[in-house]
Amino acid sequence: MLIRADEVKRMSVVKKSKPGCGSGLPGGSMSFRMLLRGAVLAVLLVTLTSTGCIWLAVGAGGGAVAGAAAADKDRDAGDVITDAALVTRVKAALVAAKDVSATRVKVYAHLGVITLEGYVHSEDEARRTMAAAKKVRGVKKVVAKMTIDSD
């Protein structure tokens, strides 16, 4: 269908919203939801990749959590998110702990079980690192795979 330029002025465009889009949100519900989804996915991506969980699969529909959970058969999407948050809290505890080399120790979580891998300067530092991790809310068990390195 061809439309002449003078007819364009007389036409009005009516945008219909889809049912259930929450059109009461300021700035348009779709833009707000897309911004929120992007922010959540960005935080999740940074958290999971910083914990070594590089198997994150972001699908066309934004199914980052579903893709991540699909790679791990004994955890669902909620467990993946809980473990990622737990890793973040344990890393924060290690940074806050006195006389602990937080940058030399990697933290992994699997269903609430924390694994600490990396290098420490002494057995005392390994004990302090484990103690700091055990104090974090949500930690069920701490597995130490740390190597003593005097350098």
- Give the pLDDT confidence of 4-46 residue by residue, as tens digits: 555 544 444 444 545 544 444 454 445 666 666 666 666 665 5
pLDDT of residue 134: 96
**Position with higher pLDDT, 113 vs 47:** 113
If one compares 51 and 129, the residue with the highest pLDDT of the two is 129
Tell whether the model's pLDDT for residue 87 goes beyond 60.
yes
- Angle at CA of residue 150, ends 144 and 151, nearest 5°: 115
Mean pLDDT of the chain: 73
More confident residue, 11 or 83: 83
Local confidence band at 73 (pLDDT 50, 70, 90 cut-offs):
confident
**DSSP state, 113?**
E
pLDDT score at 150: 74
Parse the chain into domains and list their residue ranges: 41-148
Q: Higher pLDDT residue, 22 or 129?
A: 129
56 contacts: CB under 8 Å, gap ≥ 6: 44, 45, 48, 49, 64, 67, 68
| Residue type (1 letter), 83 | D
Residue 123 has pLDDT above 60, yes or no: yes
Higher pLDDT, 35 or 133: 133
41-148 CATH pick, 1.20.120.450, 2.102.10.10, 3.30.1340.30, 3.40.605.10? 3.30.1340.30
**Which strand (E) or helix (H) includes residue 79?**
helix 77-96
Q: What is the pTM of this model?
A: 0.54
Q: Cα separation of 16 and 140, whole Å?
A: 51
Q: Is the pLDDT of residue 142 over 60?
A: yes
